[in-house]
């Protein structure tokens, strides 16, 4: 008999050779019908894999990320089979599951495939899926695996196999199809009920531009047609909210090939938006005891060698800048933290001076591959809302909690209410991956968990996900479309204080090493604005809007009164403009709606006579008439409710 421990801690006993599906059926037949994948002792297994020893078993359904991964990986196999049947002689390479769906990279040789052919491939996939063919894993010797693919002249699979150890090679079979595969599949093809092939793209073999370009086919699949329909509707809504589209329409930012890829240009409205975001955070930071610093955009190469960033980013980043002085090299700044360490090092500190909190909106540069660039979410130059806290070890818990408060304040003020946190800890089985004493690691990890619990955060623990220098807390935000984004991070670092030999004099008159906290509630201004744009659809909180009010004059006759209303609003620091063009009021309203302007004030003969304005709200319509003073009070009250003060 073997003991199988389930996630709830319960233990069931079975004869050796029991499969994960057998265990699922022992729980309930209904549950078993929904099980599509499993892991045993942290290793992915098939639902039909015989279990021969005691261990921990997790059974996954479509509702688990791991279940979706197996579902989409299996769908990639179905895609590969369909392609082989429709285009005999093609060469398959790799076909993994991705965050949303799957893809397969294929060498079509002298054959061609285009977007118009995808419907035929989808139909073939569904025909295969309806056959309810079981997925099964079998082991193969390295020699047999090489022989199989050499006979097919498939140099891609041969290269993969040559890098594998004999005894670790497996194939997956279903129907008439077989493929080199590590495993992790759904029970049979019939579980796949809906398929959509999304696009075709080029992809270099192994991501190397020196290699041959293959054809990558992206797809997604679901266990119900209803799920696919909902997903496609979500994509259509996402297109409307695409920050690149909205950024252009709202005149926030642009890009120029002459300036360079991945280097955004902020237009006046976007620059003003960024300034408001920066001032919002600066105000909160000042109350929280942060001091603003400014560091240069470049630094000597040796600075980043000391910090370790050159080793991390050097090979794939902008190359060193040489000067007329022989041997002198500078780098574009990849991170702000080495500069802040040197600021701390600029004078001696006592324990009475700590903590020191240095903050900066510092622009950094990293050379992203051109194919990876995407609007504002993936750029080569970006500004981080960076801060580094240098504190004594016994101050760590309190400082960490204060940073959580600041992050939650930012999220609450900007409408990010649906989020969870991830506590990333070290892998206890691989201590060699980390630096620093066990005592310090224990303190840091306990501080993070204690802080998360005391703030009643919805968090999950991930072992092995810590940085090599310390554990961290990441904030995972869901936007209005249900998509997850990593926004905001807090990290505990014992590494840089060691590398830069940071010290303070303790109460015992001895020199001690401070602990360093890295934090960035926005992450980067570029990425944050992009996510905020897509989350709100361009309808930012009123306090943040580039233009809060548009005064729509029915004709030029009322320009003087419109200007009077404008002056009143501007005196109350409300951002407004007058639209007195010779256009119909209907067109002016439509354009104001398209530009996401929150409020429209219509001014005509009656309004001028009564000293009032007719108020319309974006997306809601007519709110009636009121005096300009009453409207100003309404706006100021709304802004005050939205942008509450940060309480330390």
HEC assignment per residue over 393-413: HHHHHHHHHHHHHHHHHHHHH
Confirm whether 77 is a catalytic residue.
no
Q: Residue 4 region, left (φ>0) first, then alpha (ψ -120 to 50), else beta?
A: beta
Q: Is 339 a catalytic residue?
A: no
Q: Which of 91, 216, 366, 519 is catalytic?
A: 366
With 0-12 / 13-18 / 19 or more C-beta atoms within 10 angstroms meaning exposed / middle / buried, residue 245 is: middle
Catalytic residue among 81, 285, 384, 548: 384
Q: CB count, 10 Å around CB of 88?
A: 8
Whether 193 contacts 224, CB under 8 Å: yes
Any idea which residue has 């790799």 for tokens?
A: 94
**Is 206 tagged catalytic?**
no
The radius of gyration computed from the CA coordinates of the chain, to the nearest angstrom, equals: 30
Examine the residue annotation and report whether 366 is marked as an active-site residue of this protein. yes
How many CB atoms neighbour CB 569 within 10 A?
23
Neighbour tally for 509: CB within 10 Å: 7
Cβ count within 10 A of residue 395: 18
Q: Is there a catalytic annotation at residue 130?
A: no
> Where is 162: in which H helix or E strand?
helix 155-162
Cα separation, 248 vs 267, whole angstroms = 10
The catalytically annotated residue of 73, 77, 518, 519 is 518
340 tagged catalytic: no
Whole-angstrom distance, CA of residue 246 vs CA of residue 415? 18
| Three-state helix/strand/coil letters over 291-329 | EECCCCCEEEHHHHHHHCHHHHHCCCCCCCEECCCCCCE
Question: What string of H, E and C letters represents the secondary structure of 195-224?
Answer: EEEEEEEEEEHHHCCCCCEEEEEEEEEECC
The catalytic site residues sit at: 337, 366, 384, 386, 388, 472, 518
């Amino acid at each position: 008999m073997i003991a199988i421990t389930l996630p709830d801690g319960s233990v069931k006993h079975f004869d050796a050779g029991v499969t994960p599906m057998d265990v699922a059926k022992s729980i309930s037949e209904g549950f078993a019908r929904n099980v599509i994948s499993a892991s045993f002792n942290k290793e992915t297994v098939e639902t039909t894999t015989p279990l021969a020893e005691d261990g921990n078993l997790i059974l996954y359904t479509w509702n688990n990320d791991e279940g979706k991964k197996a579902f989409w990986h299996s769908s990639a196999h179905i895609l590969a089979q369909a392609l082989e049947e429709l285009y005999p002689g093609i060469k398959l390479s790799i076909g993994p599951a991705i965050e949303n769906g799957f893809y397969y990279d294929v060498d079509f040789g002298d054959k061609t495939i285009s977007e118009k052919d995808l419907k035929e491939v989808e139909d073939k996939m569904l025909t295969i899926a309806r056959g309810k063919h079981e997925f099964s894993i079998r082991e193969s010797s390295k020699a047999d695996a090489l022989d199989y693919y050499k006979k097919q002249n498939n140099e891609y699979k041969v290269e993969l196999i040559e890098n594998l150890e004999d005894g670790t090679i497996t194939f997956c079979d279903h129907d008439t199809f077989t493929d080199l595969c590590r495993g992790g599949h759904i029970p049979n093809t019939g579980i796949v009920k809906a398929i959509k092939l999304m696009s075709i793209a080029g992809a270099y073999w192994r991501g190397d531009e020196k290699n041959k370009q293959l054809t990558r086919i992206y797809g997604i699949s679901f266990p119900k047609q209803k799920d696919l329909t909902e997903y496609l509707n979500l994509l259509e809504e996402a297109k409307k909210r695409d920050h690149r589209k909205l950024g252009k329409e709202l005149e926030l930012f642009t890009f120029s090939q002459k300036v360079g890829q991945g280097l955004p240009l902020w237009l006046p409205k976007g620059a003003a938006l960024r300034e408001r975001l920066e001032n919002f955070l600066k105000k909160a930071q000042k109350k929280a005891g942060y001091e603003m610093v400014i560091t240069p955009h470049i630094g000597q190469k040796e600075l980043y060698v000391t910090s370790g960033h050159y080793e991390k980013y050097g090979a794939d980043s902008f190359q060193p800048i040489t000067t007329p002085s022989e041997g002198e090299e500078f780098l574009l700044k990849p991170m702000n933290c080495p500069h802040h360490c040197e600021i701390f090092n600029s004078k001696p500190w006592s324990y009475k001076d700590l903590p020191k909190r240095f903050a900066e909106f510092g622009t950094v540069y990293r050379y992203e591959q051109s194919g990876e660039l995407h609007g504002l979410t993936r750029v080569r130059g970006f500004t981080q809302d960076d801060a580094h806290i240098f504190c004594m070890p016994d101050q760590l818990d309190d400082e960490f909690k204060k940073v959580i408060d600041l992050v939650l304040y930012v999220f609450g003020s900007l409408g990010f209410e649906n989020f969870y946190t991830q506590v990333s800890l070290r892998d206890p089985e691989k201590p060699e991956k980390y630096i620093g004493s066990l005592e310090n690691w224990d303190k840091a990890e306990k501080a993070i968990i204690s802080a998360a619990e005391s703030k009643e955060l919805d968090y999950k623990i991930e072992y092995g996900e810590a940085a090599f220098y310390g554990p961290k807390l990441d904030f995972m935000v869901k936007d209005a479309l249900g998509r997850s984004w990593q926004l905001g991070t807090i990290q505990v670092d014992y590494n840089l204080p060691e590398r830069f030999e940071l010290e303070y004099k303790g109460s015992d008159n001895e020199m001690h090493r401070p602990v360093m906290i890295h934090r960035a509630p926005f992450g980067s201004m570029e990425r944050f604005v992009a996510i905020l744009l897509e989350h709100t659809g361009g309808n930012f909180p009123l306090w943040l809007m580039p233009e809060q009010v548009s005064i729509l004059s029915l004709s030029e006759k009322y320009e003087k009164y419109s200007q009077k209303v404008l002056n009143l609003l501007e005196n109350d620091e409300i951002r407004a403009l007058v639209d007195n063009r010779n256009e119909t009021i209907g067109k002016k309203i439509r354009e104001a709606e398209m530009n996401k302007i929150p409020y429209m004030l219509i001014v005509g003969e009656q309004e001028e006579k009564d000293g009032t304005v007719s108020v319309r709200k974006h997306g809601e319509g007519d709110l009636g008439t009121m005096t300009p003073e009453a409207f100003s009070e309404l706006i100021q009250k709304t802004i005050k409710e939205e942008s509450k003060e940060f309480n330390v």
